[in-house]
């Protein structure tokens, strides 16, 4: 090795300035909170929101401007897709914290600085996942996110259900991490590199034994499937969604889906595209099973959080359809449209899920979770505004025109039909019709059942404004989806190596 090869190349910290800022502020807030005496933690909450806003500004000002740039020895990639997902991530986490504010204050055991710092560390983990260009970076991001979420699920130490959910999440998460690491080690053993770009080049050269790599891909897809929560790696989702405090469930159900989509694109599309016939077949099986199990299991649920958990499984299965039909027979002409539809679907799902759990948090109060379906009985009589918002969200999730969920499903189906998978499109439509039943049941309960509780719904002004804006976004994006779809298409076209 020559002296020139041994020289250390300093990383371009500008590209990772948002991550550096997030880490520094999380540590600072952790220290500042030690001196905060007030139980409401207003200072800690404000600093957390300032951190998210500052990270968003840094992401905008340090944007790659459509270029694909690498730093930290190619372990970190900055591109338009990463910028878009990070901005959406900051918005989602900020909204989650606003929705959770009243809920946390009603539960003193959770109203601690640790809640906010763990949220920031989880956000940092997702940021690392979004910009990962190395299998080691992928793993670091996933573990930083997972360890933060394990702690947050168990934050309410007085709750037996939360402790049990955290233990299940931890054990199954450790198993998934093992699968992920084993798959990475097999790929490294064959290609001799953990750099996703180098792995892609060596697979493309045709000099690699692809049989062993396919075995590695099986374990890799299994680990990613756990993070997405698709069948048969879905066992943790209903119990964790139900057992965790609702504010934590909202975080788990929303923001990590953006990071998981980024991992799928980075690892499978950019890194293992040569093996697309193999991993697309795996995703096809996972997708159909998820839509079937998720929708049919959700029908039997009486708890709204468990119902949304099974619906999340079905939605992630539907999202995978776009990834299944991106490259057919080595032809990638359908790739951008298919992956764009999947990205659009993930974004709209996160938007709808945030609103649904926001409504649960809105109706919750001290000592009462409001997570049973009958808790929403007669909501229209108590608050026509909130009932209308929940109705729009349920219609969107069911894929009813003209809400954003309909256009998201329609764009996926168009990509599936364009790839020639007509039977798959019919199956997706059938499972969507099954899913419409349990969403419309919520609407029926709100508008036609007698209210269990006739008391007036108390909500802060910011909560009212935010939940109303959430409902309007679901409606307006369904009528005017082209702008968001165009942004998704541009971000992917400037970032994909297809």
pLDDT in tens, 139-170: 999 999 999 999 999 888 878 888 899 999 99
pLDDT-derived band at 329 (thresholds 50, 70, 90) equals low
Neighbour tally for 283: CB within 10 Å: 27
For the chain, what is the total number of helices (H) and then of strands (E)?
Answer: 21, 2
pTM above 0.85, yes or no: yes
Q: How far apart, in whole angstroms, are the C-alpha atoms of residue 260 and residue 239? A: 20
SS3 content of the chain, % helix, strand, coil (to 5): 75, 5, 20
- Return d(Cα 167, Cα 58) in angstroms, integer: 37
Specify the pLDDT at position 3.
46
Comparing CA positions, the residue from 214, 358, 364 lying closest to residue 279 is: 214
Reply yes or no on whether the pLDDT at 30 is more than 80.
yes
Above 50 in pLDDT, residue 1? no
pLDDT at 472 over 80: yes
Peptide bond into 402 cis (omega under 30): yes
């Amino acid at each position: 090795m020559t002296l020139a090869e041994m020289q250390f190349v300093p990383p371009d910290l500008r590209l990772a300035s948002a991550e550096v800022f997030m880490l520094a502020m999380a540590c600072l807030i952790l220290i500042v909170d030690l001196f905060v005496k007030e139980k409401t933690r207003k200072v800690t909450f404000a600093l957390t929101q300032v951190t998210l806003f500052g990270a968003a500004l840094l992401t905008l000002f340090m944007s790659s401007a459509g270029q694909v740039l690498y730093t930290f020895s190619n372990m970190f990639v900055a591109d338009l897709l990463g910028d878009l997902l990070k901005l959406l991530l900051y918005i989602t986490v900020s909204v989650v914290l606003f929705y959770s504010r009243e809920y946390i204050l009603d539960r003193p055991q959770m109203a601690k600085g640790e809640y906010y710092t763990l949220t920031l560390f989880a956000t940092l983990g997702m940021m690392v996942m979004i910009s990962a260009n190395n299998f080691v970076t992928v793993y670091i991001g996933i573990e930083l996110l997972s360890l933060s979420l394990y702690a947050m699920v168990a934050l309410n130490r007085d709750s037996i259900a939360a402790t049990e959910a955290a233990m299940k999440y931890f054990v199954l998460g450790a198993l998934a991490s093992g699968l992920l690491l084993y798959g990475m080690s097999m790929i490294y053993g064959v290609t001799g590199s953990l750099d996703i770009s180098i792995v892609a080049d060596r697979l493309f050269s045709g000099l690699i034994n692809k049989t062993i790599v396919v075995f590695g891909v099986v374990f890799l897809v299994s680990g990613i499937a756990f993070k997405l929560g698709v069948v048969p790696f879905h066992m943790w989702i209903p119990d964790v969604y139900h057992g965790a405090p609702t504010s934590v469930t909202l975080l788990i159900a929303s923001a990590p889906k953006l990071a998981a989509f980024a991992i799928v694109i980075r690892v499978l599309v950019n890194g293992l595209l040569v093996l697309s016939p193999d991993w697309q077949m795996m995703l096809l099986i996972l997708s159909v099973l998820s839509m079937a199990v998720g929708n049919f299991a959700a029908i039997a649920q009486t708890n709204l959080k468990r119902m949304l958990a099974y619906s999340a499984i079905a939605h992630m299965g539907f999202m995978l359809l776009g990834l299944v039909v991106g490259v057919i027979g080595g032809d990638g002409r359908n790739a951008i449209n298919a992956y764009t539809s999947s990205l659009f679907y993930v974004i709209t799902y996160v938007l709808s899920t945030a609103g649904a759990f926001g409504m649960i948090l809105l109706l919750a109060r001290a000592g009462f979770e409001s997570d049973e379906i009958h808790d929403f009985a007669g909501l229209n009589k108590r608050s026509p505004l909130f009932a209308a918002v929940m109705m729009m969200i349920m219609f969107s999730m069911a894929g009813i025109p003209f809400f954003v969920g309909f256009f998201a499903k329609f764009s996926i189906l168009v990509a599936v039909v364009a790839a020639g998978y007509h039977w798959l499109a019919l199956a997706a439509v059938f499972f969507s019709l099954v899913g419409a039943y349990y969403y419309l049941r919520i609407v029926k309960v709100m508008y036609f059942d007698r209210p269990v509780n006739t008391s007036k719904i108390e909500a802060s002004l910011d909560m009212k404004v935010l939940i109303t804006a959430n409902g309007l976004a679901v409606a307006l994006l369904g009528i005017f989806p082209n702008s968001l779809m165009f942004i998704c298409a541009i971000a992917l076209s400037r970032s994909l190596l297809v």
